[in-house]
């Protein structure tokens, strides 16, 4: 299996609800980063969480990291239609000198007004 | 707020032609990267660049690919002889001292 797998692959919710996306990985990491991508557009950096951190917040975003389970979750609270996008986790592996990121397949989030 | 820029936004080329994709990373960043995303697939690492040399490259980054930082601000990816399977979105990224990677808007390369 692959480094950085998100689930679910697709998530459809109503505006105002919370959205939770999960990411699992296989190899120990320096950090894990979450990105948003609107269809056909660039990758927007959302948040970085380091291997020694357990939780980080940024506005309506909350990211957790459980290194014992090799998993992370991204929670978007009070979702808006504008949150509709694909969300990716990307891992920076612990033995990686150059900092390359390994991306998962992403979760497609649809927020209905 | 500084951002990574890329030109062109869309490049159409014929198979066998050379293309150069350009990027201007954020000025005080030291690590630069190219990634690509084939339509409907995940983002894939191509190459990382530090201190004017390649620090790591993927299996995709074969002899047809090269990178350069010709003038201290631009960072280019050259594909010498494009193939149909090179059609993808190419993203440049640069890394902050805190290890966050910021991506440019991408260049959509279409090889016909």
Q: How many CB pairs under 8 A join A and B?
A: 63
- pLDDT classification of A1: cutoffs 50, 70, 90: very low
> Residue B69: is it exposed, middle or buried by C-beta count within 10 angstroms (0-12/13-18/19+)?
middle
- The single residue listed with the structure tokens 């390359």 is A100
Whether the Cβ atoms of residue B35 and residue B46 lie closer than 8 Å to each other: yes
Q: Which of A6-10, A101-105, A106-110, B7-11 is predicted with the least confidence, judged by mean pLDDT? A: A6-10
DSSP-assigned letters across all residues of chain B: ----EEE-SEEEE-TT--EEEEEE--TT--EEEEEEE-TTS-EEEEEEEETTEEEEE-TT--TTEEEE-TTSS-EEEEESS--GGG-EEEEEEEE-TT--EEE---EEEEE-
pLDDT tens by residue, A29-49: 999 999 999 987 899 999 999
- In this prediction, residue B26 carries a pLDDT of 93
Three-state DSSP at A52 gives coil
Query: Mean pLDDT for chain B?
Result: 95
User: Does B12 have pLDDT greater than 50?
Assistant: yes
Nearest to B105 among A35, A42, A105 (CB): A42
CB contact under 8 A, A98 and B101: no
CB contact under 8 A, A100 and B33: yes
- In this prediction, residue A97 carries a pLDDT of 74
Q: A66 pairs with which residues across the strands?
A: A71
Nearest-Cα residue of chain A relative to residue B105: A42
Three-state DSSP at A78 gives coil
Most B CBs within 10 Å: which of A45, A52, A99, A106, as the mutation test of the B interface?
A99
- pLDDT classification of A3: cutoffs 50, 70, 90: low
CB contact under 8 A, A31 and B104: no
Query: Mean pLDDT for chain A?
Result: 93
CB contact under 8 A, A100 and B45: yes
Nearest-Cα residue of chain A relative to residue B56: A98
The total number of residues shown for chain B amounts to 112
CB contact under 8 A, A98 and B31: yes
Q: B110 pairs with which residues across the strands?
A: B12
CB contact under 8 A, B103 and A35: yes
User: Of A106, A91, A108, A76, whose CA–CA distance to A6 is shortest?
Assistant: A106
pLDDT tens by residue, B51-110: 899 999 999 999 999 999 988 789 999 999 999 999 999 999 999 999 999 999 999 999
CB contact under 8 A, A101 and B104: no
**DSSP 8-state symbol, A82:** G
B103 neighbourhood in chain A, CB within 8 Å:
35, 42-45
- The single residue listed with the structure tokens 């609270």 is A77
CB-hemisphere CA count at 13 Å for A74?
Answer: 33
């Amino acid at each position: 299996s692959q480094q950085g797998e998100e689930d679910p692959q697709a998530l459809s919710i109503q505006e105002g609800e919370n959205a939770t996306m999960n990411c699992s990985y296989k190899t120990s990491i320096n950090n894990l980063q979450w990105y948003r991508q609107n269809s056909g557009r660039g990758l927007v950096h959302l948040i970085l969480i380091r291997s020694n951190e357990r939780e980080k917040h940024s506005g309506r975003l909350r990211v957790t990291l459980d290194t014992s389970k090799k998993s992370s979750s991204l929670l978007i609270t009070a979702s808006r239609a504008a949150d509709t996008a694909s969300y990716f986790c990307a891992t920076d592996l612990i033995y990686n000198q150059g900092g390359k990121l390994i991306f998962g397949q992403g979760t497609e989030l649809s927020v209905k007004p | 707020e500084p951002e990574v820029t890329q030109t062109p936004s869309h490049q159409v080329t014929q198979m066998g032609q050379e293309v150069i994709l350009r990027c201007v990373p954020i000025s005080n960043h030291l690590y630069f990267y190219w990634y690509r995303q084939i339509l409907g697939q995940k983002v894939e690492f191509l190459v990382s660049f530090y201190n004017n040399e390649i620090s790591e490259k993927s299996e995709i980054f074969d002899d047809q690919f090269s990178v350069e930082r010709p003038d201290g601000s631009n960072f280019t990816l050259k594909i010498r002889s494009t193939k149909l399977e090179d059609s993808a979105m190419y993203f440049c990224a640069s890394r902050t001292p805190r290890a966050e990677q910021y991506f440019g808007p991408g260049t959509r390369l279409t090889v016909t």
